């Protein structure tokens, strides 16, 4: 995707923020976590490996009609953010020290989490075609 249309970017960012804010009060995040969120958003919105674009293009038309690509992109980014936050907290809780955390191998964790998050979001969107309450819950968490 490399270059993202400004309107697409704004929709994806608003949806991502709205969804994430339902779980983590985004306006109360420490600056370091806010920067981490911004970095994650930038990386996933750019979609340099085209994983998101290919996954979206492979969706049945009936699933694509449930929301715009930008809305779904924002939903996916928020889902990835929440999974990454949860795993980071588990890692921090299990490590006795920051040095121990740095010594453990966590290479590739982000990539695996993003891929897993995308698969989960795709599965939910496909299911929402026949599950009205699920579709309504999508709309609820995506709204401000």
The answer to whether position 20 is within a domain reads yes
pLDDT at 85: 82
Maximal C-alpha separation, the chain: 49
Closest CA to 115 of 139, 79, 70: 79
- Is 92 among the domain residues? yes
Q: pTM surpassing 0.75?
A: yes
Give the domain range for residue 60: 6-142
- Please check whether residue 1 lies inside any domain of the structure: no
Q: Is residue 132 part of a domain?
A: yes
The domain that contains 123 carries what CATH number?
A: 1.10.3440.10
| 8 A C-beta contact, residue 55 and residue 122 | yes
Number of domains observed in the structure of the chain: 1
Residue 126 lies in a domain: yes
Residue 138 lies in a domain: yes
Q: Comparing C-alpha atoms, which of 144, 73, 143 is closest to residue 114?
A: 73
| Strand blocks (E) in 1-144 | none
Q: Does residue 25 form part of some domain?
A: yes
- Print pLDDT tens along the chain (144 aa): 457 799 999 999 999 999 999 888 888 888 888 888 899 999 999 999 999 999 999 999 999 999 999 999 999 999 999 888 887 777 666 665 555 555 555 556 778 889 999 999 999 999 999 999 999 999 999 997
Give the Cβ contact number of residue 67 at 10 Å.
20
The answer as to whether 39 is a domain residue is yes
């Amino acid at each position: 995707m490399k270059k993202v249309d400004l309107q697409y970017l704004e929709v994806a960012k608003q949806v991502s923020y709205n969804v994430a804010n339902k779980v983590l009060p985004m306006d109360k995040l420490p600056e370091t976590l806010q920067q981490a969120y911004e970095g994650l958003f930038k990386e996933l919105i750019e979609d340099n490996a085209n994983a998101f674009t290919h996954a979206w293009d492979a969706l049945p038309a009936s699933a694509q009609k449930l929301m715009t690509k930008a809305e779904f992109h924002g939903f996916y980014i928020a889902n990835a953010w929440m999974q990454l936050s949860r795993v980071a907290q588990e890692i921090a809780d299990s490590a006795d020290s920051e040095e121990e955390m740095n010594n453990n191998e966590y290479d590739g964790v982000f990539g695996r989490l993003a891929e897993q998050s995308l698969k989960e979001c795709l599965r939910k969107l496909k299911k929402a075609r026949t599950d009205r309450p699920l579709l309504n819950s999508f709309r609820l968490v995506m709204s401000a």
